[in-house]
Copies of this chain bind each other. A is one copy, B any other.
Amino acid sequence: MKIGVDYYPEHWDKNLWEKDAKDMKEAGVEIVRMAEFAWSRLEPEEGIYCFEWLDEIVELFARKQIQVFLSTPTCTPPLWLFEKYPEVIQVDKNGRRIPIGIRGHRCMNSPIYREKCEKIIRQMVSRYADNEWVIGYQIDNELEANHCCCPICEEKFRLFIKNKYQTVDKVNEAYGNSVWSGEYSSFSQVKPPFGEHQTWLNPSYMLDFNRYASESTVEYVNFQRELIHSIDEKALITTNTWLCENMPDFYKMFEKLDFVSFDNYPATKLPENEEVLYSHAFHLDLMRGIKKKNFWIMEELSGSLGSWTPMQSTLQPGMLEGYSLQAIAHGADAVLHFRWRTAVTGAEMFWHGLIDQSNVKGRRYQEFCKLCHTVKEWKEIEGSIIKNHIAILYSSEQEYGFKVQPQVEGMHYFTQMKAYHDAFTCLGIGVDVIDWLSDLSGYDIVVAPTLFVTNDKIEANLKEYARQGGTLVLTNRSGIKDEYNRCIMSPLPTVFSELTGAVVKEYNPIGKKTQKIEMSDKIWKGKPFTCTLWCDVIEPNQAEVLACYGEDFYQGEAAITVNHYGSGKVYYAGTVLNRKGMAVLVEFIVKDLGMEYIQGIPFGVERTVRQKESGQYVFWFNNTEKKQDFVSWKVQEGKTPVTERAILEPFEMAIIKEIK
């Protein structure tokens, strides 16, 4: 478990290096990431390599016993490369080469680009293969699913389709291309989705394009991974992922990499509306779940953000340390703060680092030193892992499916999942976010929000899980599509109807309007809650009704049901409850299973547990701007509640060791 920083020696006068390294050491920095944008410095002219400066700074850190994590600098090819080989420049959806001057504007599929990448990576990796302080490599930087539309990518996409379907007839069948006379009569008609009006395009085709785009990036990652590995077998290899517009399939992208690393930028200004879920805890659990093991934060929030957008609020006291520790609480084993010192040149100038441009060490730096100290004090946490009994299923298929066809204003795949994640957080229960096709047998509860796009495997996986006694939660907008993104002609939730013991008679996309929800007495006796966005009107055949709608023409009709399936239970929530309502529903489910949970946790306070042979570490985090002074009760069916009082300053993390 270590704290590190992102450092750009190439941005700074050489006479700052020694002092910076010394300061890092004193602060408690144990690892430094470097070089992800340094291609032009490492190869100023084609074939002319200048690694001496990198040798020097690596050596400097080595002397201080600070580890180095290098990056392949392939995200930003030098200008000479673009000038000499303009065909490597990305083509946008209007069919035009992207203007140079930003970053990432290269075609990952370009053979010439790949050739140049290979040369610079070879130089780098072979140079440091024997250096014990250079412990690994970040591949490229913040990769997106490849949406380049250049002729090479066009051909590659065509080939992807051809390989998948073999004949145009099969494509036409899979896509339902008879609609609007969209039938291919030849593969030559297959093109990437050009133009501005992408929601008008065939959703089956669009889903395939998103799959291709992800696969294309995964292939690029594997190209670099194999290359690095072939030179330095022992190097740790990862790539720093993020939540971007065109997300690759995380599970596939990290499959062959050693661990997941994530760029973590929580909000500095918390929303005033209590219903807005802002906590980064969900994202952290998502990252841990990719490889089902601890992960790294490769870039961590260190100051006010802003550059291409105006600046945001600065960090409140406690935020810097609190958010880092929150990442650790959720399974981060290393947190590298972005960045040591704020840039004084370039477009990223106001994306603040630990130290301001003044180079005076201020409040945030002091907090960073405190963080290093805290982490050192808790070094014993190292080796601990997180074991949860609850899983939320994530799938790129839904991510793409929703992106291609937004269902109703305000509904997003991530917020659907976050709503459940938050409800468990309210009960102090940890959650794993895992691949939808994972083995689910170890989990007491599995929540599978909005399984919009389905396939045989997920159907089988969930049935098997429930049959064996699992508690499964399904939601609205599930079972809509088959694997080709065609609607399934069967009552919703179609392939899951056997599980739910209920079907959806009809639905109302209410968007930002709200509905009243009357819950069954055994769940809630207070004032009715509200729900929003979507209302499935449920007809139970076998299931029990847990909640009904309280308004509109479907007043009194079922909104939430539960069904016995095999030895398990299957809940179906046909709507999106408000925050408190969701917590009450989830509490009912948890209580029903006799699970232990906590009552009395205020909104915004998070409890997480890392486990070790010897005991466990409980993390209490106050993710609000208010001091929280509260009493909570650990409850479990048949046990006396354990009462606890906690006082937490804003963004404070309290760590408590519980010895077994």
Q: Mark A188-214, 1 if CB is under 8 A from B, else 0.
A: 110101110101111111000000000
Given known pairs A200-B102, A304-B509, A360-B491, the reply for A185 and B44 (CB within 8 Å) is yes
Question: Would you give the shortest CB distance from A541 to chain B, in whole angstroms?
Answer: 13
Residues of chain B with a CB closer than 8 A to A57's CB: none
Query: Which residue of B has the minimal Cβ distance to A42?
Result: B181
Residues of chain B with a CB closer than 8 A to A513's CB: 313
Given known pairs A102-B201, A314-B506, the reply for A40 and B182 (CB within 8 Å) is yes
A99 and B195 form a contact (CB under 8 A): yes
Query: Which residue of B has the minimal Cβ distance to A173?
Result: B345
Please report which residues of chain A, range 493-522, place their CB below 8 angstroms from some CB of chain B when the two chains form the complex.
494, 503-511, 513
Q: How far is the CA of A480 from the CA of B510 in the complex (A)?
A: 44
Residues of chain B with a CB closer than 8 A to A480's CB: 357
A79 and B358 form a contact (CB under 8 A): no
A181 and B346 form a contact (CB under 8 A): no
Question: Would you give the shortest CB distance from A302 to chain B, in whole angstroms?
Answer: 13
Please report which residues of chain A, range 306-320, place their CB below 8 angstroms from some CB of chain B when the two chains form the complex.
306-314, 316-317
Chain A contact residues: helix, strand, loop or mixed: loop
Any B CB within 8 A of the CB of A183: yes
Cβ-neighbour of A313 out of B103, B194, B508 (below 8 A): B508
Cβ-neighbour of A344 out of B44, B487, B505 (below 8 A): B487
Question: Would you give the shortest CB distance from A315 to chain B, in whole angstroms?
Answer: 9
Residues of chain B with a CB closer than 8 A to A314's CB: 506-509
Cβ-neighbour of A347 out of B186, B200, B308, B504 (below 8 A): B200
B363 and A505 form a contact (CB under 8 A): yes
Residues of chain B with a CB closer than 8 A to A487's CB: 342-345, 349, 357
Any B CB within 8 A of the CB of A640: no
Task: Pick the interface stretch among A236-244, A330-338, A406-414, A457-465.
Answer: A406-414
Q: How far is the CA of A461 from the CA of B52 in the complex (A)?
A: 43
Residues of chain B with a CB closer than 8 A to A307's CB: 199, 405
Q: How far is the CA of A181 from the CA of B346 in the complex (A)?
A: 10
Residues of chain B with a CB closer than 8 A to A304's CB: 508-509
Q: Mark A62-85, 1 if CB is under 8 A from B, else 0.
A: 000000000001001111101100
Residues of chain B with a CB closer than 8 A to A359's CB: 489-490
Cβ-neighbour of A406 out of B310, B505, B506 (below 8 A): B310
Given known pairs A185-B45, A409-B310, the reply for A11 and B178 (CB within 8 Å) is yes
Residues of chain B with a CB closer than 8 A to A342's CB: 487
Q: Mark A535-560, 1 if CB is under 8 A from B, else 0.
A: 00000000000000000010000000
Q: How far is the CA of A100 from the CA of B553 in the complex (A)?
A: 42
Any B CB within 8 A of the CB of A280: no
Cβ-neighbour of A37 out of B181, B186, B346, B505 (below 8 A): B181
Residues of chain B with a CB closer than 8 A to A96's CB: 94
A101 and B347 form a contact (CB under 8 A): no
Query: Which residue of B has the minimal Cβ distance to A480?
Result: B357
Residues of chain B with a CB closer than 8 A to A509's CB: 304, 306, 310-314
Any B CB within 8 A of the CB of A219: no
B181 and A347 form a contact (CB under 8 A): no
Any B CB within 8 A of the CB of A564: no
Q: How far is the CA of A181 from the CA of B41 in the complex (A)?
A: 7
Q: How far is the CA of A39 from the CA of B181 in the complex (A)?
A: 6
Any B CB within 8 A of the CB of A362: yes
A-B contact pairs, 14 of them (CB 8 A): A37-B179, A40-B182, A41-B181, A78-B183, A100-B191, A102-B200, A200-B347, A204-B345, A306-B407, A306-B408, A313-B513, A314-B509, A350-B407, A364-B506
The 5 closest A-B pairs by CB, nearest first: A176-B345, A179-B346, A99-B195, A40-B181, A99-B194
